[in-house]
């Protein structure tokens, strides 16, 4: 009988349909793996038995669903390259673990899984062990284990190797490990495959390097790509890339409804009301769950408030240490906490089947990303609540994190020219001296250029390949346009009167999308938006508490000599800025909401508002009472500053001047004066460290009047400014003041970035 082997796909109405191909394709399978004589019924029975072990079903009654079996058969029997687009909780990991067990029993090499999800890696290693599958991970959290793991892989003792996509661009891994893996791999799995496409909501350039591995795989090695969040455009793009070196890919796409989820939106007037609502309703939500926040600062604020109200919660963000992340995950899995208050650091990679709820304090900028995050809930329970609490500050936060568009052609060409003319590899810090791009944007651009073949990462940094490269302005513009469309769709989700699950499914081009009958628009709201005065007062108090530390710069940027600035290495202790204070971060939901409008580019200049001045004074009072006082560990510090110096401002002179004057008046400190501009031009706020320092290095001066005042004061000074982003303004100002005879320089700013 002719096998149902399918290889090609064609687009039709947004869905992918299977076409028959030459069955002789099976002959391309590796000779060491004997599949041709496999009986489909026997293979299915064996697959179900592996599944039973995987899920811990001692009775052996577990069965793959037909759609799961179709994927397993495509990999094991037909040696296919397949893209599976299925809803969260469908069981994609079961497909590749069952396929792994079947392939390994037939002599295939280890399965290599490319996944960006450290948390999911840990879950999957544990799940694999239940089925007798030996799995290891290679990622940034376990470098001390890499050599031992590589040895086990070479000896054939590892069944599954999970690798983060960033490893693909590690020079040693790419040149020494990757070729061996490509030669011995029995199954390649690309998890969260939407990350391959720059049309997707979470494009990661490192994923594009899979093209090289795909071309190096021996003929007949199956490949599986999986995702729950790919619309038609992303699906087509990923399928095309997946076919690299192996013919067109089979696409298996299913409906994206999540029958267990009940979605709703609760609109509240401000951040205090949202925190208060959470404190009053968290216990009403089933089981344990996740509370998502848009920023690290917001997650930490919410965690502190909920703990103060008696809730067992933990924070989980990009700043959380790995050991603390592991503990937080374990606590949630064992229901020892009511919730993790998390950023997108927990967005995709956490597997807890009985997760009872997901609440968002603020809207993500993409409904597709939102669908992915809420998909953490209700995977193994009949009902789970998903609630969105949008905030007025959401769009400001979107803009703050939106500086990721591909740079203009002039900056890209400038980067290529700098690499070509260097005569040696350049590190990213060294490149900053030649290219006016912030580091994260520069790194992302280099990864894209690497994928395009224009640059290459080598030991010591990056080099230009000299290959022809075309700036695809049309594609970059379309991607930017798609990001804007996603943001508008998220606004529409909040206000829509249509079914919310249907809305999300249509964003993912799910042709079967229909009304769910469960959400607040289908069945009516099921939660009360009211909050008590006590909870609201407590939330307002938490958010109104000003004061965060501002860490000083301690090292000058690399490569300043190339810019004509003779600063390098560690900043001498006697010229450093001390640890300072800010009222808040622009990314938080407390003081950030108050400060963003005040410091916006289009905001008019004017005297410091009275509430802001009072908050600054409160921060100073708290600072003075902190352990170690104003400048702990500084030998010439005294109990308090002896005077105040202002940083001059071209854009907000009244704001900064009145802030310095108000603090001097209330604190009964002399206003020693202000630094002066050595030249009248403004300097960029958003440039990288090297370019920023170049612009600042000759921007300020200490005039004779201020120098005389510093000589008379003979002690620590309070340095006042409106905002700090890179920290270089404070570093340069402190160096000038210390060289002019001041004691320790203690910075106080209204807002800090991040």
Phi-psi category of 703—alpha, beta or left, where left has phi over 0 and alpha has psi -120 to 50?
A: beta
CATH code for the structural domain at 6-253: 3.40.50.300
pLDDT for the residue numbered 403: 60
Among 557, 551, 560, 553, smallest CA distance to 575 is for 553
16 pLDDT above the threshold of 70? no
Give CA angle at 544 (540, 547), nearest 5°.
Answer: 150
pLDDT for the residue numbered 207: 83
Q: Do the bridges between strand 313-316 and strand 339-342 make them parallel or antiparallel, or are there none, so unpaired?
A: parallel
**Can you tell me the distance from the alpha carbon of 84 to that of 335, in angstroms, rounded to the nearest whole number?**
31
More reliable by pLDDT, 39 or 439: 439
pLDDT band at 753; cut points 50, 70, 90: confident
Write the CB contacts of 101 (distance below 8 Å, at least 6 apart in sequence): 50, 131, 132, 133, 159
CATH code for the structural domain at 261-399+493-542: 3.40.50.300
pLDDT for the residue numbered 444: 87
CATH code for the structural domain at 545-752: 3.40.50
- Which string of b and e fits 579-594 if b means at least 16 CB within 10 Å? bbbbbbbbbbbbbbbb
Model confidence pLDDT, tens digit, residues 675-716: 998 865 555 555 788 888 888 888 899 999 999 999 988 889
Q: Do the bridges between strand 580-585 and strand 745-752 make them parallel or antiparallel, or are there none, so unpaired?
A: parallel
CATH code for the structural domain at 409-475: 1.10.10.10
Domain with CATH 1.10.10.10 in the chain: 409-475
Model confidence pLDDT, tens digit, residues 257-295: 999 999 999 999 999 999 999 999 999 999 999 999 999
**Can you tell me the distance from the alpha carbon of 728 to that of 41, in angstroms, rounded to the nearest whole number?**
68
pLDDT band at 144; cut points 50, 70, 90: confident
Domain with CATH 3.40.50.300 in the chain: 6-253, 261-399+493-542
Among 86, 350, 397, 389, smallest CA distance to 263 is for 389
Among the residues of 574-629, which ranges form H helices?
591-599, 610-625
CA distances from 481 to 484, 487, 508 (A): 5, 10, 17
**pTM, entire model:** 0.82
DSSP string over 149-167? HHHHHHTT--SEEEE-GGG
CA diameter of the chain: 98
pLDDT for the residue numbered 342: 93
């Amino acid at each position: 009988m002719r096998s149902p082997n399918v290889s090609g796909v064609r687009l039709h109405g947004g869905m992918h349909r299977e076409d028959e191909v030459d069955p002789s394709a099976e002959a391309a399978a590796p000779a060491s793996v004997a599949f041709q004589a496999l009986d489909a019924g026997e293979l299915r029975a064996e697959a179900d038995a592996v599944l039973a072990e995987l899920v811990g079903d001692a009775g052996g009654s577990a069965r793959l669903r037909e759609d799961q079996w179709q994927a397993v058969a495509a990999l094991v029997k037909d040696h296919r390259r397949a893209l599976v687009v299925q809803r969260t909780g469908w069981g994609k990991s079961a497909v590749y673990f069952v396929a792994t067990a079947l392939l390994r029993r037939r002599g295939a090499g280890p399965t290599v899984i490319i996944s960006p999800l450290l948390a999911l890696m840990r879950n999957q290693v544990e799940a694999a062990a239940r089925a007798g599958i030996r799995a290891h991970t290679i990622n940034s959290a376990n470098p001390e284990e890499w050599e031992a793991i590589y040895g086990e892989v070479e000896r054939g003792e590892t069944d599954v190797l999970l690798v983060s996509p960033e490893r693909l661009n590690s020079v040693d891994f790419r040149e020494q490990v990757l070729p061996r893996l490509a030669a011995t791999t029995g199954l390649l799995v690309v998890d969260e495959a939407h990350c391959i496409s720059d049309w997707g909501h979470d494009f990661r350039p490192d994923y594009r390097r899979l093209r090289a591995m795909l071309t190096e795989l021996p003929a007949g090695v199956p490949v599986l790509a999986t995702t729950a969040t790919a619309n038609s455009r992303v699906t087509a793009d990923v399928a095309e890339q997946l076919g690299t070196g192996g013919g067109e890919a089979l696409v298996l796409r299913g409906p994206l409804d999540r029958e267990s989820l009940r979605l709703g939106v609760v609109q509240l007037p401000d951040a205090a009301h949202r925190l208060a609502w959470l404190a009053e309703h968290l216990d009403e939500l089933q089981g344990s769950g996740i509370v998502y926040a848009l920023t690290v600062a917001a997650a930490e604020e919410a965690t502190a408030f909920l703990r103060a109200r008696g809730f067992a919660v933990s924070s989980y963000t990009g700043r959380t240490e790995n050991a603390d992340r592991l503990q937080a995950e374990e606590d949630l899995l064992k229901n020892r906490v009511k919730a993790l208050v998390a950023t997108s650091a927990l967005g995709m990679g956490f597997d807890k089947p009985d997760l009872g709820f997901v609440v968002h304090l603020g809207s993500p900028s993409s409904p597709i990303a939102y669908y992915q995050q809420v998909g953490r809930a209700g995977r193994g329970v009949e009902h789970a609540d998903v609630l969105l609490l949008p905030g007025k500050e959401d769009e400001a936060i979107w803009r703050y994190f939106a500086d990721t568009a591909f740079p203009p052609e002039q900056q890209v060409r400038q980067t290529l020219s700098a690499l070509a003319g260097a005569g040696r590899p350049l590190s990213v810090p060294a490149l900053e001296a030649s290219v006016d791009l912030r580091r994260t944007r520069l790194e992302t651009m280099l990864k894209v250029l690497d994928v395009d073949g224009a640059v290459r990462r080598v030991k010591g940094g990056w080099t230009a390949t000299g290959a022809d490269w075309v700036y695809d302005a049309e594609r970059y513009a379309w991607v930017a346009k798609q990001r804007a469309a996603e943001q508008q769709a998220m606004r529409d989700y909040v206000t829509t009167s249509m079914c919310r699950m249907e809305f999300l499914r249509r964003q993912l081009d799910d042709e079967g999308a229909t009304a769910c009958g469960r959400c607040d628009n289908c069945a009516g709201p099921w939660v009360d938006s009211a909050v008590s005065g006590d909870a609201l007062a407590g939330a307002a108090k938490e958010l109104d508490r000003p004061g965060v530390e501002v860490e000083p710069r301690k090292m000058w940027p690399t490569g300043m000599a190339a810019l004509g600035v003779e600063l390098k290495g560690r900043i001498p202790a006697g010229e450093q800025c001390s640890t300072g204070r800010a009222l808040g971060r622009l990314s938080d939901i407390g003081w950030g909401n108050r400060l963003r409008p005040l410091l916006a580019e289009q905001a008019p200049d004017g005297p410091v508002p009275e509430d802001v001045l009072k908050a600054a004074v409160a921060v100073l009072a708290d600072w003075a009472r902190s352990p170690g006082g104003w400048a702990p560990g500084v030998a010439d510090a005294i109990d308090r500053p002896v005077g105040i110096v202002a940083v001059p401002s071209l854009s907000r002179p009244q704001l900064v001047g009145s802030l310095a004057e108000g603090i001097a008046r209330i604190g009964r400190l002399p206003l020693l004066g202000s630094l002066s501009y050595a030249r009248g031009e403004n300097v960029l706020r958003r440039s990288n460290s090297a370019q920023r320092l170049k612009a600042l290095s000759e921007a300020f001066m200490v005039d004779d009047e201020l120098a005389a005042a510093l000589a008379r004061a003979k002690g620590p000074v309070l340095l006042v400014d409106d905002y700090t982003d890179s920290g270089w303004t404070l570093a340069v100002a402190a160096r000038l003041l210390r060289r002019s005879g001041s004691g320790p320089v203690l910075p106080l700013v209204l807002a800090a970035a991040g």
